[in-house]
Amino acid sequence: MQLEVKGLKSGYGKVQVLHGIDLTVQSGAITTILGANGAGKSTLMKTIGGHLPIIEGEIVHNGQHLNEIGPLHVCMAGVGLVPQDKNVFAELSVRDNLQASAAAFEGAEERVAEVLKRFPILQERGNQLASTLSGGERQTLAIATALVAGPDILLLDEPTAGLAPIFVDRIVGWVEELAQDGTGVAWVVEQNPEKILAISEDAYVLDAGRVTEVLKSKSLLEPGRLEEVLLQVHA
C-alpha cells in the first residue's frame, strides 16, 4: 500500500518547480518533508494530489498509476490531500463540508457519522459555518474531510502552521494513531518540526525542487543536526 514517486517533474505553466523527485511513503509510517520557503514542498503535495500537470515521472500507489487522473480519482484511489490553505468550503457548515467530501463514496452518511465520532469538536460545531471556526478547528475539519474518504495514504501540507500548541499536540496525536492503524502519512513541516520528527520514520530534505537528503527522522533530533542539514542546502 505504499506510494512511490519516481523522477517527478512539474510546475506552473512554463515555470518548472520540481526537477525529478523520488519519494516513498510507506504505509503505517510518517514521512516528514522539510525544506526552506519555496523549496517545492507544496508543489510536490499538489502534484501528487492531482492538482498540477506532470511534466515527467511517475506516481504509483498500490500498483495503480496516478498520473493525470485528476484530484477526485487520486482521492478515490486512496490518496488524500490536506492542502495548506483553501482546504475547507468557508461558506458551508461543518457538517455540509463533510457531506460534500463524502458524497462521491458509498455509505456517505456512515462515513460522516464515523468522522464526527472521532472528532467531538466537529460534532459540537456541526451547524457552524467553516468561516467562523478557529484556526485549529478549521484545520481539524480539513483533516476530517480528507478522512471521510478513508485514505490509505494521507498528504498533509503544514497542518499545524500557526496553530496553538494544544491543537498541534492534538493533530500530532491523531496522525500518530492513523499511522499506527496502517495509514501512510507524508507530512510537510516548516516550523517546529521536532514533534513530528519524533514520531516519523524518514525525513526528506528538499531544496530548489530536488531531494537533497533522505535521513532517519530521529537523527535530526540530535542537537544542532536539523540546523546543519537545513543550512547545508543553502551553502
Binding region for ligand ATP (CB under 6 A) = 12, 15, 17, 35, 37-43, 190
Nearer to ligand ATP, 119 or 187 (CB): 187
Residue 71 host element (H or E): helix 71-76
Asked if 5 and 79 touch (Cβ cutoff 8 Å), the reply is: no
Cβ distance to ligand ATP smaller for residue 17 or 59? 17
CB of 62 to ligand ATP, least distance (A): 26
CA distance 192 to 169: 12
> Taking phi first (over 0 means left), then psi (-120 to 50 degrees means alpha), and beta for anything else, what does residue 86 get?
left
- Which residues are registered as beta bridge partners of 81? 155
Taking CA atoms, 101 is separated from 70, 151, 174, 206, in Å, by 15, 12, 20, 31
Sign of the Cα torsion 173, 35, 183, 95 reads positive
Output the smallest distance, CB 15 to ligand ATP, in A: 5
Nearest distance from C-beta of residue 35 to ligand ATP, angstroms: 5
DSSP 196: H
The nearest distance, CB 14 to ligand ATP, in angstroms, is 9
Nearest approach in angstroms of CB 207 to ligand ATP is 9
